[in-house]
């Protein structure tokens, strides 16, 4: 049997995922561990909006929707900001659901304990001098998504993005920010190939005034895909905000994806998922047990009309997707009958 394979738009994530696969880990282990390694380095990654697809023979395709959500659960509508009034960054801070994605994904085929995967990432963060982020990664390994409810963690988040800072993040937002976990919609392509995409992909966001402020649609997404010899592929995309709201004690950044409350404008309902650019898909050909996971960096979405496997096959599809935006990179892994391969295609510069 060939070893599992990983490919990513983020070099450190790919290296960590590949090492895990070489050690016999599953594709789910590899994607979680690879992402955590990237999050140990990038303060905007850990709490970024994300989505994950997991698929394989006999299991179909699952989608975990970890887009950030609008804060303010259980609170009265604040007065809001008047037109022309300066709006603090905290007013844009959204509630992260990334830790819930990792916890749910771990139940879909991981073999390594989450604590083990987080421990390796914590060591990377501490080595780089990010002690606060290292402690948070260790806590995530111990408590999963409930790490946000830990007293010192929740206090740090509320100080950075709660009402005293001009934001609307409250304790109830951190109580149970779980993502949805459901079967991914499947499109039928030519030659008996199906394409599974996140259910929210291709949907349009609200056009109400203020709702589109600082949207993440045009932020560059990172993608990590992996396949193992057991016939499972996993794909993760996340959209870090390099200028997100800094939480100094934790050395992480909250994404600025929430809609600030504006006077005279209807409030976006707390708990509503916020728009995010997370371009992922899984291709499957049941007739020969073939699966492929694809991720595309540097573009806002995957257009359904572009999903055609022409004479050039998967490589041709990747090239077409990568060319949509200058400098983008498309990555893929395939698995069929215990044979695993990885592909990378760069866009035209």
pLDDT tens digit sequence for 199-245: 887 544 433 334 444 444 467 889 999 999 889 999 999 999 999 99
Question: CB–CB of 4/226 below 8 Å?
Answer: yes
* pLDDT-based confidence at residue 318 (cuts at 50, 70, 90): confident
Q: CA angle, corner 324, sides to 319 and 327, nearest 5?
A: 80
Res 209: pLDDT: 36
Res 319: pLDDT: 78
Q: Give the predicted TM-score (pTM) of the model.
A: 0.92
Distance between CA atoms of 180 and 322, rounded to whole angstroms? 28
Q: Which of 58-62, 134-138, 159-163 has the lowest mean pLDDT?
A: 58-62
Distance between CA atoms of 53 and 310, rounded to whole angstroms? 24
Q: Is the pLDDT higher at 47 or at 218?
A: 47
> What integer best gives the mean pLDDT of the chain?
88
Res 347: pLDDT: 61
**End-to-end CA separation in angstroms for the chain:** 37
* pLDDT-based confidence at residue 312 (cuts at 50, 70, 90): low
Res 3: pLDDT: 80
Tell me the H-state helices in the chain: 11-22, 27-41, 98-106, 114-127, 131-143, 151-161, 171-175, 313-322
pLDDT tens digit sequence for 75-126: 999 889 998 889 999 999 999 999 999 999 999 999 999 999 999 999 999 9
Around Cβ 19, how many Cβ atoms within 10 Å?
Answer: 16
Question: CB–CB of 251/133 below 8 Å?
Answer: yes
Averaged pLDDT for residues 163-176:
94
């Amino acid at each position: 049997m060939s070893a599992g394979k990983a490919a990513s738009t983020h070099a450190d994530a790919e290296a960590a995922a590949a090492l895990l696969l070489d050690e016999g880990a599953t594709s789910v282990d590899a994607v979680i561990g690879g992402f955590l390694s990237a999050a140990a380095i990038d303060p905007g990654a850990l709490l970024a909006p994300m989505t994950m697809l997991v698929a394989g023979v006999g299991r179909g395709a699952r989608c975990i929707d970890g887009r950030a959500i609008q804060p303010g659960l259980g609170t009265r509508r604040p007065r809001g900001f008047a037109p022309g009034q300066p709006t603090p960054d905290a007013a844009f801070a959204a509630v992260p659901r990334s830790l819930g994605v990792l916890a749910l994904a771990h139940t879909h085929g991981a073999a390594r304990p989450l604590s083990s995967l987080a421990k390796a990432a914590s060591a990377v963060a501490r080595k780089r001098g990010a002690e606060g982020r290292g402690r948070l990664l260790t806590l995530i390994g111990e408590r999963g998504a409930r790490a946000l409810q830990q007293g010192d963690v929740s206090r740090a988040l509320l100080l950075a993005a709660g009402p005293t800072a001009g934001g609307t993040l409250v304790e109830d937002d951190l109580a149970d920010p779980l993502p949805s976990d459901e079967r991914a919609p499947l499109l039928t392509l030519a030659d008996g190939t199906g394409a599974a995409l996140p259910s929210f992909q291709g949907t349009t966001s609200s056009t109400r005034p203020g709702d589109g402020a600082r949207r993440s649609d045009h932020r560059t997404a990172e993608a990590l895909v992996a396949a193992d010899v057991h016939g499972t592929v996993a794909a993760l995309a996340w959209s870090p905000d390099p200028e997100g709201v800094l939480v100094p004690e934790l050395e992480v950044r909250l994404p600025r994806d929430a809609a600030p409350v504006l006077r005279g404008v209807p409030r976006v309902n707390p708990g509503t998922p916020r728009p995010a650019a997370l371009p992922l898909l899984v291709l499957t050909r049941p007739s020969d047990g073939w699966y492929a996971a694809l991720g595309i960096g540097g573009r806002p979405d995957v257009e359904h009309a572009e999903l055609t496997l022409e004479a050039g096959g998967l490589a041709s599809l990747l090239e077409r997707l990568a060319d949509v935006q200058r400098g983008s990179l498309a990555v893929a892994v395939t698995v069929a009958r215990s044979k695993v391969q990885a592909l990378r295609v760069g866009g035209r510069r």
